[in-house]
Amino acid sequence: MTDPIQDRFYSPLRLIFLSLCALLLMPSLAIEGSTQSAVVAVQVRDTVTYAADTTGTDTVAQASPEIGWPQSFIDEVRYQVSHADFLKSSQVGMLFYDLTADSVLYGYGEHQLMRPASVLKTLTASAALSQLGGSYQYQTCLYIKGEVADSVLQGDVYIVAGFDPRFGSDDMQAFVQALKDQGIYRIAGQVYTDVSIKDTTTLGNGWLWHWANDEIPLTPLLYNGHEGFMQKFYEYLDEEGILHPATFARAMLPSGGTRLLVSRTHSIDQILMRMLKESDNLYAESLFCQLGAQDHTPYADFTHGQRYIKRFIHDNLRLDPNDYEVTDGCGLSTYDLLSPYLIVRMLRYVHSNPNLYLHLYPSLPVAGQDGTLRNRMKSGTAFTNVHAKTGSVRRVVTLAGYCQAANGHEVCFAIFHQNVNSSRQARNFDDHLLQVLTR
């Protein structure tokens, strides 16, 4: 039985109290506008819990409240991270590691997977140095098959491509000279190019189709870092009066019956210097290809190079390679995903291995002085102090390398920005942090 009086009172009262409750709940049902600036990102701020994924001496140690550290740096990074306006709409991950004290200096979102852009080149370089060695040589070879009689090669010429972007005029001269030395003035057979060092795709995996206009095609037979090797070869032959067939064909070097005439080489250091200082994508892809070529699989695709990078991540950096993705050597690929943490671990690994460090460090751009850092940090304490690889693709800005902090400690760092509207803003942010770190 319902009481009519109660009902009459009940409904208006209930209305009043509902609205009262709504008022009470206002803070939790925050108006949209007021919350806009409140939340920057759901990034993990409690950064340094590395014990689980590492073992023994390779553990990146917990931050220690060491005396003598510029607390002002940490305060400044914290301030910048929470106040920089552009970080409200973009993602950032960073890790600063004190190599001298062997401890984390500061980390923020350093496990987040982001596009490394050209910072990936340092990983490609380290993996290559580790797997191929610092004395590795790029090779381009000239073979002949058949006998030479009366200045005529009764057989074929084979050019085995080695994806050497530094192959130039003196090398071409040496090729032609080698034929002359054999007394060859006519090639009666065919000229073959063996380009089986990599597959025939001319763009890297995960590149955009319209980059075909901007990037040099990834073909393993290059002359001065461009296409047109065979055209140039025939020009040189013509100059020396060596008769050759009008065309050439693609074929793999037969397993027997051939004779090596000449092999032209370039050292890995020559490649690294330009690849890292100037962030040359072709050079990086050629190095990625050298890694994949270790499998000796004809026309190997990107997964072969990828396997060596992943092996480096597993064996040397002691991280799970399945947590990361690498599909090219230069960082253009939209599929590449790394974390600042991985890059710092790599920089630390390289630092502790002179075999790698002696090749990598001199190849990094120097702040305010050369390479892609030529026009950055041209003054202040970071000038010539910071040696780091830059990364820049659309809406992505990255930086990773070494510097010496104010207290004389060696520091390695990686800073990844993603989805930034103005790359200048992000670059200035990074430069500022490094100035404070070294001050």
The closest of 305, 312, 307, 346 to 328, measured between CA atoms, is 305
Which range touches other proteins (CB under 8 A), out of 20-28, 187-195, 219-227, 277-285? 20-28
Using CB under 8 A as the binding rule, whether residue 28 contacts other proteins is answered as yes
Q: What whole-number distance in Å separates Cα of residue 357 and Cα of residue 310?
A: 20
Question: Taking CB under 8 A as the rule, which mask of x and - marks residues 406-425 in contact with other proteins?
Answer: -------------x-x----
| Residue found by looking up tokens 């990086």 in the block | 284
Q: DSSP letters along 224-249, please?
A: TTBS-HHHHHHHHHHHTT-B--S--E
Decide: 334 and 324 in contact? Cβ < 8 Å: no
Q: Least distance to other proteins from the beta carbon of 117, Å?
A: 12
User: Does the protein bind other proteins through residue 48 (CB under 8 A)?
Assistant: no
Tokens of 142: 């000239």
The pairing of beta strand 387-393 with beta strand 396-404: antiparallel
What is the DSSP-derived secondary structure letter of residue 317? S
What is the DSSP pairing of strand 396-404 with strand 410-418?
A: antiparallel
Running DSSP on this structure, what letter comes out for residue 209?
Answer: G
Of 36 and 135, CB closest to other proteins? 36
Q: Residue 35, interface with other proteins (CB under 8 A)?
A: yes
Closest to other proteins by CB, 152 or 337? 337
The nearest distance, CB 60 to other proteins, in angstroms, is: 15
Binding segment for other proteins (CB under 8 A), chosen from 62-70, 164-172, 204-212, 307-315, is 204-212
Binding residues for other proteins restricted to 339-358, rule: CB under 8 A: 339
Q: Which is nearer to other proteins, 212 or 260 (CB)?
A: 212
Contact with other proteins (CB under 8 A) among 91, 154, 190, 384: 91
Nearer to other proteins, 94 or 403 (CB): 94
For other proteins, the closer of residues 37 and 247 by Cβ is 37
Q: Name the β-bridge partners of 267.
A: 137
Choose among 316, 271, 311: nearest CA to 295.
311
Residue 43 engages other proteins in binding (rule: CB under 8 A): yes
The residue from 60, 76, 77, 90 that contacts other proteins (CB under 8 A) is 90
Which stretch of DSSP H or E encloses residue 118?
Answer: none
**From the centroid of its chain, how far is CA 92?**
18
Closest distance of CB 356 from other proteins, Å: 26
Tell me the C-alpha to C-alpha distance, in Å, between residue 247 and each of 190, 191, 250.
8, 8, 10
Which one of 44, 74, 178, 243 is in contact with other proteins (CB under 8 A)? 44
216 touches other proteins by CB under 8 A? no
In angstroms, what is the minimal distance from the CB of 212 to other proteins?
7
Strand partners, 109: none
In this chain, which of 1, 5, 67, 246 binds other proteins, going by CB under 8 A?
5
- Which element (helix H / strand E) includes 191? strand 191-194
| Shortest distance (Å) from residue 386 CB to other proteins | 27
Look at the alpha carbons of 230, 231, 232, 234 in this order and tell me if their dihedral is positive or negative.
positive
Provide the token pair at 203: 């763009």
Q: What is the DSSP letter of 252?
A: P
Which member of 108, 175, 192, 207 binds other proteins (CB under 8 A)?
207
Smallest gap, in angstroms, from Cβ of residue 29 to other proteins? 5
Which of 180, 323, 353, 425 contacts other proteins by CB under 8 A? 323
Question: Looking at the DSSP assignment, which residues form a beta bridge with residue 302?
Answer: none
Kindly list the residues in this chain that would bind other proteins in the complex (CB under 8 A). Answer: 3, 5-6, 9-10, 13-14, 17-18, 21-22, 25, 28-32, 35-36, 38-44, 88-91, 111-114, 203, 205-212, 322-325, 334-335, 337, 339, 394-395, 419, 421
